[in-house]
Structure formats: C-alpha cells, structure tokens
Structure 1
Amino acid sequence: MNNILTEIVAHKQTEVAARKQLRSAADLEQAPWFKRTPLSLSSFLQSPDKTGIIAEFKRRSPSKGVINGKATVQEVTTAYTRYGASGLSVLTDEKYFGGSADDLQQARTLNNIPILRKDFVIDEYQVLEAKAIGADVILLIAECLSAAEVAYLARFAHNLGLEVLLEVHSEGQLEKVTEHVHLVGVNNRDLTTFKVDFNRSCELAPKIPAGKCKVAESGISDPAAIVTLQQAGFQGFLIGEHFMKQEDPPRAFEHFVTELRAAREKI
C-alpha cells in the first residue's frame, strides 16, 4: 500500500471505533432505509436505456485538494440521474474527501438509481452503515484488504442484499475476487505514479472472472475513452473528478452524454 492509503486506513480504524461508540449496530439495523430492498447496479449498468456511467459526487481529494466547494448534492446528483447515469457514487469519507453520510442520504432521497458508498471499508460496521443510509453498493479496495477480509466483507454485504464492487490495480489482485463480489473495478490510475493508462485496463478486462460486471475507474474525461473501454469489455465507467471540476457539473454531464451517444452511433 502506498503512503496515503496506509494513512487513510489507519485513520479509518480509529474513526470507525469512535462511531461504534456513538451508534450501535442494533441502532443501524433499525434505520428506515435498512429495510429497503437495494437496487442492482450491475443490472442498471447493462440497461440499454442508460449510459453505463457511474457519476460521482466528490468535493475534494488528498491529491487534488478542493475540486468543487460550491456544487450541492441536490443539483448535481439529480442532473446525473436526469441525463442517464446508470448509478451514483457518493464519497462518505470526511477527513480526506470532504464527504459525509448525509451526502449519501440526500442523494438517496432525491434519486431512484443505485448508489455506491465510496469509502474505505475495513469493518462490517461500515457495511451496516451503508445499508442504513440508503446505499445499494459498497466499495472494497483490494489494495487495502487481505483476500480473507475481502471474502468476509463481500459475503456480509451480499447477505444484506448489497452489491459489492471490488477495486483492483493489478492482475494479481484478481485472485481476491469471490462469488460474493458482483462488480470488478479496474483503476486506470497507477497508485505510485498517478498516471492513467487505459491499455492496462484493456489488458486486464479479459482476465476478470466470467459473470462479473466490469467497471473502468479513474481518469475518464473523453467519450472516446468510454467507447474504447466498452469495446474491451467494460460495462461500467466510474467518472469522478471530470464533472465535479467543471464550473457547472450538471451541464458538463449533459454535454458529455450527448457526445457519448453520438460516438456510440458511429460504431
């Protein structure tokens, strides 16, 4: 693990321990949304009337600092849904990304498409939280977890009706994919150099176990990249900073989708 991931995971352990003191697992299970039937992101990604895009609401990041301090959850996520996003990704990490559980709950109230809780999940308590705040999918990062931890957390989430997106950065990490992982995300960004390389993703795509929905993550800023990745076998495309760093994220997303549909018609 690189230094920032190590730091984040260490902080997350302390943070989760503190939250357990404030709200018990039993309390989470009594939350109104805990009883809701989650939506299937893998199904939405493959729906022909959607774009395949998982559009992200993200205020800042450790590497970029503030990305967008003005846009609201309401204006951005409803626009994503209106213009054809297959799913939403909402950051809930506060210290490093400026997100919150409240952001996801707002998005849940306003939108009826699947929502990914984007966070650093290391404990089953966070999976219960995800269900309680209205998420449909959790993210597990292979770089941060052992194979046994991935297997345990994925099974725990699956048994709650949540889908699991496992993010990998290398071929070796595909060994951590289990039957309870529904989607496999390939991060196009090298964690050591931070350079984006779509070729690596395209090479990895055919090695992802059959039956898993393939998601390309990071660095996608051009509809042509989606066309290339789709031809390589990817069904989902997680886009975070590209829309949020624009002056008007809803308009930026609308234009991107228009260009994407035009590019797809040329194939």
Structure 2
Amino acid sequence: MDILQKIVKHKKREVALKKELVPVHQLEASSLFQRPALSLSAALRKSASGVIAEFKRRSPSKSVINHHSPVHEVAMGYEQAGICGMSVLTDGHFFGGSLEDLQMARATTNIPLLRKDFMIDEYQFFEARAHGADVILLIAAILDKNTIRRFTDLAHELGLEVLLEVHDEKELMRSLLPDIDMIGVNNRNLKTFEVSLETSRKLAADIPGEIVKVSESGLSNIESIRELRGMGYRGFLIGETFMATEDPGRKATEFIKTLEQ
C-alpha cells in the first residue's frame, strides 16, 4: 500500500467520525457558509505573478517544514506580498493541518483560499464552505470520472471553484470536464515523492485554453516559472520555498518582486 492509499484509507475513517459529530445542517448554519466566495481563477488570469502560496506545517516526504509560524501571521504576510490566493492544508494526520487553520486564514485575509485536502466525500465540501474556503482540490488519482463530475457539480452549487489535480496524461484525459475551473499539474509523484517540472511541460498543450493552468510543486526557480508562463500556465502553487524559512511572508514578497521584474 503506497502513501496515497494509506491517506485515503485514513481519510474515510476520519470523515465517517466527523459526520457523526457535526451534521451537515450545523455546518450550513455557520456564519461563513453564505459569504460570497472569491474567485481564484479570475485572480490568476489577471495576475503578473500567479503565485498561490501554501501554508503547510509538515508532509510525509519532508516531515517537519515549519512548526513555528502561526497561520494568521503567515496569511497576513502572504496577502501583503501580493499573492493571488492561499492554499491551506487541512489534513491533520499526515500534514499537521486543520480546518481551524483555514478558518483563521479566512478571518485575517481577504484573498481566495483553497482547502487542500483529500476530498473523498460530499461532507467535506460543506466543511470547506463553513470554514471559509473559496476553492476545493480534487485529486484525479483517487477519484473516478463520475465522482469528479458529481463533486464538481456540488462544489459549484455551493459557490466553490474546483482545482483538479493531475499527475500524468492518462489522469488528465480521463478526468477532464469542460466546466472545471482550473487544472493543477502536480510535478510531484504522490507515490514516490520525486519532483520533475517535465510533468508540467508535457501536459501544457493538452489542457484546453479556456481552463486556467496551474503548476504545483518544485517551483523554487524564477526562470522555471517564467518558462511555464510562456507555455500557458497562469498559476504556480508554492509551499516549501516559502514555509521552510523563518518568515514565509517576507520570502513570498521577495520572490514575487523578483518574478514581476
């Protein structure tokens, strides 16, 4: 069993327990549930940098990344840096995140927020809305096309945008839907954790022009991002480059200033 299968197995147990503790109607009663959502895809289309900055404490591949920077400080620093949106890891067991991190980021910023988690149940979409998310991540590697269709419809009904993550041409071809808001090409192999920007390069031409292209993982080099922009990418999800520093917000500021020169 690879790490992705382990995560999904654990996530199913976790969601089942949550559904018993907090029913959907209680989530719908949240003060954040009816707030107008912000559009990440629109922000990326008009941005000169396209940076989506991530808040991540740890990961299965790198263990501890940053346990000293509070989410509200990082969120404010990212917003001041001029990012297009913020990705917040909400998986607790494997990444050290929480829905409270998402809620805190929402309370301190007015930028599009992506709930980055392993979405395997409709219940999680209501959680995302209730905690201030504007966008949800769908991972093609763990979902079939019918489920992606159903989840996309639900996300849009709730006012959420969809970032569909793929890792290769096969995943892209079998999961592509015309109303997906954004396609994220993850340069990290979730089974081996190896990173290669060649993944984004190979898939660039296969993503329809009307869908916003996002490159994810391994994006620490300004020139690589400029190259990918030339191939049609408008979003760049960056986590460890910022989070593995003493001041993620300051690092994001320096990075974006250089990128926009």
TM bracket, shorter-chain basis: over 0.9
1:207 aligns with 2:206: yes
Q: Which residue number corresponds to residue 265 of structure 1?
A: none
Match of 1:27, as an amino acid?
Answer: Q
Q: Which moved more, 1:194-203 or 1:92-101?
A: 194-203
Q: Which residue number corresponds to residue 105 of structure 2?
A: 107
Distance 1:90 1:5 in 2: 19
Q: CA deviation at 1:191?
A: 3.1
Q: CA deviation at 1:238?
A: 0.3
Distance 1:194 1:219 in 2: 11
8 Å Cα contact 1:164/1:180 also seen in 2: no
RMSD: 1.2
Aligned match for 2:91, one of 74, 90, 93 = 93
Q: Which residue number corresponds to residue 30 of structure 1?
A: 29
Distance 1:161 1:249 in 2: 29
Deviations 1:66-116 (A, max 9, x none): 100100111111111111100000010000000011100010011111000
Q: Which residue number corresponds to residue 70 of structure 1?
A: 68
Match of 1:107, as an amino acid?
Answer: A
1:130 aligns with 2:128: yes
TM-score of the superposed pair, with normalisation by structure 1? 0.94
| Structure 1 residues without counterparts, runs of 5 or longer | 263-267
Aligned match for 2:143, one of 133, 142, 145 = 145
Distance 2:40 2:12 in 1: 28
State the number of aligned residues.
260
Q: Which residue number corresponds to residue 218 of structure 1?
A: 217
1:13 aligns with 2:19: no
SS at match of 2:210: coil
SS at match of 1:235: strand
Distance 2:97 2:23 in 1: 22
Distance 2:178 2:127 in 1: 23
Match of 1:215, as an amino acid?
Answer: V
8 Å Cα contact 2:51/2:256 also seen in 1: no
Match of 1:224, as an amino acid?
Answer: E
Summarize the alignment of residues 116-265 of structure 1 with structure 2, pairs less than 5 Å apart.
116-174=114-172, 175-262=174-261
Q: CA deviation at 1:243?
A: 0.6
Percentage identity across paired residues of the two chains: 51
Match of 1:244, as an amino acid?
Answer: M
Higher relative contact order (CA 8 A, sep 6+): 2
8 Å Cα contact 2:79/2:111 also seen in 1: yes
TM-score of the superposed pair, with normalisation by structure 2? 0.96
| Structure 2 residues without counterparts, runs of 5 or longer | none
